[in-house]
Structure 1
Amino acid sequence: MKFQDALVHREHRFCVGTEQDSGRFYVSVPVSNGMVDYEQYYEIDHATFELFRRDPDAAVPFVARCRKRELDELLIVPPGTSRGTAI
Structure 2
Amino acid sequence: SGTFIHGNYWGGPGVFGNANTSHGCVGLQDVRGGGSSSTPAAWFFNNSLIGDVVVVKNSNDKTISPDNGLNGWNMSWSEWTK
Query: Normalized against structure 1, the TM-score is what?
Result: 0.28
- The answer to which structure, 1 or 2, has the higher relative contact order (CA under 8 A, 6+ apart) is 2
More helix by share: 1
